[in-house]
Amino acid sequence: MKKNINLIEKYIEFIFAQKNLAKNTVASYENDLSEFAKFIGNIDFLDLNVSEFKKYVSYLSKNFSPSSHSRKLSSVKNFFLYLYDLKLVNNTPIDFIDFPKLPKKIPKFLSESEVNNLIKKSYEDKSFKGLRTTLLIEILYATGIRVSELVGISLGDISDNYSSIVIRGKGGGQRIVPLFGKVKTVLKRYLGFLNQLKRPTKSLFLFPSNSKFGHITRNRFFQILKNLGKEIHLDLNRISPHVLRHSFASHLLSRGVDLRIIQESLGHKDISTTQIYTHIQSSKLRKILEKRTYIDDEIKKFKKLG
């Protein structure tokens, strides 16, 4: 229905201009609302009732995971709050719909030795692309920045002495993350290599490519990591840029680094988001204690035999 599509377009324009959201977030809203419009068909958004929403909730619960279900429902809810603020609807029927309960997921992460093996393997490729892979992994594991922030680093974001990078995060926010030791050395070597390459046009990105964005894409980096993980026999379900980000946070926390310092590097606005990594440490401690208890029980058995 054209009227519904027009309302979605106006809403997307509104959140893009007023909410200062990341492009990926805006695109996610647009996809979710387009899917909702397709499901509703020829019914006017302004005439929807609770029963229509319940049909959509039933559709989501049957076809999507609880997290995707919740996200899509949230997109629709925010859209109808926008319509309510404009006085286009008298109420928001979605207020009467229950969101699915989401299990609290503990992030996947690699051990320090697994990350070190991954980095070590990347050093074996002496080509420019090999050096690029090494730098991508070294920066990610040294800073914990998001993969979208990593691939989009501009040359102008790097400090003159290579000791820090300006990260342009979600919603246009900026933060400075420090670089130390080995990462700085690799970065200097990579930039020297990059300057030697003869290119028709000078790219402004640290990781230039022929993609439509002008830099290496998130998906390409994900593929590179998978291939590298496969070479060292890592479980491929446990390897991704996001897992390396989680590993960075988990390893720092296990070494006693303050949670707020980790929060700042990750770019979390709320400390509660960063606190999920304390659950990782609790889980690890629980496993250690369970193992210790098992060993103690076995020792007691041997003592009885003696």
pLDDT score at 134: 96
pLDDT score at 270: 61
**Residue 255 above 90 pLDDT?**
no
- For the segment 21-39, the average pLDDT, to the nearest whole number, is 87
Task: Please give the angle made by the CA atoms of 117, 221 and 137, to the nearest 5 degrees.
Answer: 35
Q: Does domain 2-96 have CATH number 1.20.120.1200?
A: no
Q: Which residues are catalytic?
A: 146, 170, 242, 245, 268, 277
pLDDT score at 305: 43
290 or 227, which is more confident? 227
* Cβ density class 76-108: b for 16+ within 10 Å, e for less: bbbbbebbeeeeebeebbbeeeeebeeeeeeeb
- Residue 112 burial by Cβ neighbours in a 10 Å radius (0-12, 13-18, 19+): middle
Judged by average pLDDT, the poorest of 76-85, 106-115, 157-166 is 106-115
Judged by average pLDDT, the poorest of 23-32, 104-113, 123-132, 195-204 is 195-204
How many CA atoms are closer than 13 Å to the CA of 214, on its beta-carbon side?
A: 11
pLDDT score at 293: 37
Model pLDDT for residues 183-219, shown as the tens digit of each residue: 999 999 999 988 887 554 567 899 999 888 899 999 9
- For the segment 289-301, the average pLDDT, to the nearest whole number, is 40
The ranges assigned to domains in the chain are 2-96, 112-281
The superfamily in CATH containing domain 112-281 is: Intergrase catalytic core (1.10.443.10)
pLDDT score at 113: 92
pLDDT score at 39: 92
